[in-house]
Amino acid sequence: MLRQASRTLSVSTGGAGLVEITDEVRGWADGQGMTTGLLTLFCRHTSASLLIQENAAPEVRGDIERFFARIAPEDPSAYAHDDVGPDDMPAHLRTALTQVQLSIPLVGGRLALGTWQGIYLFEHRRRPHRRDVVMHLLGE
Protein backbone atom coordinates (compact mmCIF):
# COMPACT_ATOMS: atom_id res chain seq x y z
CA MET A 1 0.00 0.00 0.00
CA LEU A 2 1.54 3.32 -1.10
CA ARG A 3 2.13 5.81 1.67
CA GLN A 4 4.14 8.93 2.45
CA ALA A 5 6.58 10.09 5.09
CA SER A 6 8.39 13.39 5.55
CA ARG A 7 10.82 15.05 7.91
CA THR A 8 13.06 18.09 7.95
CA LEU A 9 16.78 17.58 8.29
CA SER A 10 18.70 20.45 9.86
CA VAL A 11 22.26 20.78 8.57
CA SER A 12 24.99 22.91 10.16
CA THR A 13 27.47 24.38 7.71
CA GLY A 14 30.85 25.94 8.46
CA GLY A 15 31.22 28.31 5.52
CA ALA A 16 31.22 27.82 1.75
CA GLY A 17 31.68 24.21 0.65
CA LEU A 18 30.15 20.75 0.59
CA VAL A 19 28.75 19.00 3.66
CA GLU A 20 27.94 15.33 3.19
CA ILE A 21 24.45 14.27 4.32
CA THR A 22 24.27 10.79 2.74
CA ASP A 23 24.18 8.91 6.04
CA GLU A 24 21.48 11.06 7.60
CA VAL A 25 19.32 10.84 4.47
CA ARG A 26 19.82 7.11 4.00
CA GLY A 27 19.26 6.42 7.68
CA TRP A 28 15.92 8.19 7.65
CA ALA A 29 14.81 6.64 4.35
CA ASP A 30 15.77 3.12 5.48
CA GLY A 31 13.83 3.62 8.68
CA GLN A 32 10.53 4.05 6.80
CA GLY A 33 10.45 0.35 5.94
CA MET A 34 9.65 0.78 2.27
CA THR A 35 10.93 -1.37 -0.60
CA THR A 36 10.11 0.77 -3.65
CA GLY A 37 9.51 4.50 -3.78
CA LEU A 38 10.75 7.98 -4.56
CA LEU A 39 12.74 10.11 -2.13
CA THR A 40 12.75 13.87 -2.69
CA LEU A 41 15.08 16.31 -0.94
CA PHE A 42 14.27 20.00 -0.98
CA CYS A 43 16.60 22.75 0.29
CA ARG A 44 14.58 25.69 1.65
CA HIS A 45 17.20 28.36 0.91
CA THR A 46 18.45 30.58 -1.90
CA SER A 47 22.11 30.61 -0.79
CA ALA A 48 22.62 26.86 -0.36
CA SER A 49 21.81 23.97 -2.66
CA LEU A 50 21.99 20.20 -3.10
CA LEU A 51 24.52 18.21 -5.10
CA ILE A 52 25.21 14.56 -5.75
CA GLN A 53 28.95 14.17 -6.16
CA GLU A 54 32.01 11.98 -5.79
CA ASN A 55 32.29 10.62 -2.28
CA ALA A 56 35.79 9.16 -2.56
CA ALA A 57 38.55 11.73 -3.20
CA PRO A 58 38.20 14.67 -0.77
CA GLU A 59 40.08 16.99 -3.18
CA VAL A 60 37.05 16.85 -5.48
CA ARG A 61 35.06 18.83 -2.92
CA GLY A 62 37.76 21.54 -2.77
CA ASP A 63 37.96 21.72 -6.55
CA ILE A 64 34.18 22.10 -6.81
CA GLU A 65 34.17 24.91 -4.24
CA ARG A 66 37.02 26.74 -6.04
CA PHE A 67 35.37 26.30 -9.44
CA PHE A 68 32.12 27.89 -8.29
CA ALA A 69 34.02 30.70 -6.53
CA ARG A 70 35.70 31.40 -9.87
CA ILE A 71 32.64 31.13 -12.09
CA ALA A 72 30.47 33.30 -9.82
CA PRO A 73 33.05 35.55 -8.15
CA GLU A 74 32.59 38.02 -5.36
CA ASP A 75 32.82 41.27 -7.26
CA PRO A 76 30.76 44.21 -6.01
CA SER A 77 31.16 45.99 -9.35
CA ALA A 78 29.43 43.12 -11.17
CA TYR A 79 26.16 43.05 -9.22
CA ALA A 80 23.42 45.54 -8.39
CA HIS A 81 22.37 43.54 -5.33
CA ASP A 82 24.91 43.89 -2.53
CA ASP A 83 23.09 44.88 0.64
CA VAL A 84 23.48 41.47 2.35
CA GLY A 85 27.24 41.26 1.77
CA PRO A 86 29.57 40.59 -1.18
CA ASP A 87 29.07 36.81 -0.92
CA ASP A 88 25.27 37.00 -1.18
CA MET A 89 24.74 37.54 -4.92
CA PRO A 90 27.41 34.91 -5.83
CA ALA A 91 25.54 32.57 -3.47
CA HIS A 92 22.30 33.06 -5.43
CA LEU A 93 24.12 32.42 -8.72
CA ARG A 94 25.77 29.25 -7.40
CA THR A 95 22.34 28.08 -6.24
CA ALA A 96 20.90 28.78 -9.70
CA LEU A 97 23.71 26.78 -11.34
CA THR A 98 23.10 23.76 -9.11
CA GLN A 99 19.77 22.52 -7.62
CA VAL A 100 17.59 23.04 -4.59
CA GLN A 101 15.80 19.74 -5.21
CA LEU A 102 16.87 16.15 -5.85
CA SER A 103 14.78 13.00 -6.23
CA ILE A 104 16.26 9.53 -5.85
CA PRO A 105 14.36 6.31 -6.57
CA LEU A 106 14.21 3.62 -3.90
CA VAL A 107 14.55 0.23 -5.53
CA GLY A 108 14.88 -3.16 -3.84
CA GLY A 109 14.86 -1.48 -0.44
CA ARG A 110 17.83 0.77 -1.24
CA LEU A 111 18.32 4.27 -2.56
CA ALA A 112 19.50 3.99 -6.18
CA LEU A 113 22.72 5.97 -5.53
CA GLY A 114 25.73 4.76 -7.50
CA THR A 115 28.83 3.46 -5.74
CA TRP A 116 30.65 6.79 -5.93
CA GLN A 117 27.67 9.08 -5.34
CA GLY A 118 27.29 10.98 -2.10
CA ILE A 119 24.59 13.55 -1.29
CA TYR A 120 25.87 16.98 -0.31
CA LEU A 121 24.48 20.21 1.06
CA PHE A 122 26.37 22.91 -0.82
CA GLU A 123 26.78 25.99 1.38
CA HIS A 124 27.42 29.16 -0.62
CA ARG A 125 27.84 31.76 2.13
CA ARG A 126 31.14 32.39 3.92
CA ARG A 127 29.74 32.18 7.43
CA PRO A 128 28.29 29.11 9.19
CA HIS A 129 24.55 28.63 8.70
CA ARG A 130 21.84 26.21 9.71
CA ARG A 131 20.05 24.85 6.63
CA ASP A 132 16.73 23.02 6.40
CA VAL A 133 16.38 20.16 3.95
CA VAL A 134 12.88 18.68 3.67
CA MET A 135 12.88 14.93 3.01
CA HIS A 136 9.78 13.40 1.45
CA LEU A 137 9.34 9.72 0.69
CA LEU A 138 6.49 8.19 -1.27
CA GLY A 139 6.45 4.45 -1.68
CA GLU A 140 5.47 1.10 -0.25
Q: Restricting to residues 67-86, name those near a copy of itself by CB under 8 A.
A: 67, 71-72, 78-81, 83
Q: Looking at beta carbons only, is 12 or 103 nearer to a copy of itself?
A: 103
Q: Is 68 exposed, middle or buried, given 0-12, 13-18 or 19+ CB atoms closer than 10 A? A: buried
- Residue 31 as a binder of a copy of itself (CB under 8 A): the answer is no
- Residue 124 as a binder of a copy of itself (CB under 8 A): the answer is no
Pairing of β 101-107 and β 37-43: antiparallel
* Least distance between a copy of itself and beta carbon 106 (Å): 8
| Among the residue ranges 9-17, 23-31, 93-101, the one whose residues contact a copy of itself (CB under 8 A) | 93-101
Round to whole Å and give the CA distance between 39 and 54: 20
Contact set with a copy of itself (CB under 8 A): 2-4, 6, 36-38, 40, 42, 44-46, 51-54, 57, 59-60, 62-64, 67, 71-72, 78-81, 83, 89, 92-93, 95-105, 107, 112-117, 132, 134, 136, 138-140
